[in-house]
Amino acid sequence: MKVIGLYIALLFLSLGVAAQDLNARITVLSPKIQTTNKRIFQSLETAMKDFLNGHKWLAETVLPQERLDCNFVLTVTAWDGGSNFSGELQVQSSRPVFNSNYNTNVLTVNDKDFDFIYTDGQTIDYSDQSFQSNLSSVMAFYAYIIAGMDNDTFSRYGGSYYFNLAQTVVTNAQTSSYKGWKAFDGNTNRYWLAENLNNKIYAPLRSFLYDYHRNGLDQMSDNASKGRKAISDLLPTLTQVDRQRLGAMFPLVFFSAKSDELVQIYAHTDSQARLAAYNIFTQADPANGIKYQELQKN
């Protein structure tokens, strides 16, 4: 009987391991909350980690080394001492570059409209069929966005399936009163991120993501010049992306993740290449113009 019991335990353990698609690191901060008892925040951090890492997000089976690396940093800005929380959620994901020790940022987003209910010790429930809670819906939304962005870097438009799932989360959340899910909640929110990623208008930027990673970064360890040239040939595409459109969230997210890396790629090239890159970057991404000034230096 002990042998059977051990076998069953190992079986469930193996199933749990197989189900883990994300390698999510969770941090809950509460610098503005005046309380001596931080237990609730530790409990919340554990619950978020268990939810994200314990749920099956990907359609395909992934090996442990293939899990998607991501960080969720929740800064609690208000708490009523009970179960009502307000905060800002920073989400970042990365993927490895072939034949190197370098991980490249794929997603960087700061969600400032994150109100939710959580009770100490609560199990976080989620369903793709209906809105259960804002806490689970927001995390599920970003899990699907992470999966979609990662797949887009390995296969052209490979993330479409996951972006559709993210859109389903948004649709289900229309029945809630929480901010961030509706078009009129602002120009930079979850609604517009899902809309952009599913909108053909931004297909060129999604295609850019694939070529930038597979034909650019992934080639640079073997042939830096070849990889950089592939990226240089792609750069004019960035100036064609419509950033003036209402709810232009995807371009904002893209440059938040890639602006520093783009500077690094061209910082040590010849002056002609640096200037060409500088002109494109400042036109396509004026918000990060100060960063790109590095490319004007000799």
Q: Which two tokens stand for residue 129?
A: 């069929």
Positions of E strands within the chain: 22-29, 68-79, 84-96, 103-117
Measure the CA–CA gap between 4 and 264, rounded to whole angstroms: 56
Q: Which token pair is 270?
A: 């010849």
Radius of gyration of the chain (CA): 21
Q: pTM of the full predicted structure?
A: 0.92
Q: By C-alpha distance, which of 212, 193, 205 is closest to 240? A: 205
The single-letter code of the amino acid at 165 is L
Q: Give the DSSP letter of residue 198.
A: T
The per-residue pLDDT string of the chain (298 residues; one tens digit each, 9 = 90 and over) reads 434 444 434 333 344 444 689 999 999 999 989 887 889 999 999 999 999 999 999 999 999 999 999 999 999 999 999 999 999 999 999 999 999 999 999 999 999 999 999 999 899 999 999 999 999 999 999 999 999 999 999 999 999 999 999 999 999 999 999 999 999 998 899 999 999 999 999 999 999 999 999 999 999 989 999 999 999 999 999 998 887 787 799 999 999 999 999 999 999 899 999 999 999 999 999 999 999 999 998 6
| Cβ within 8 Å of residue 102, ≥6 positions away | 96
Q: How far is CA 296 from CA 23, 47, 191, in A?
A: 38, 47, 37
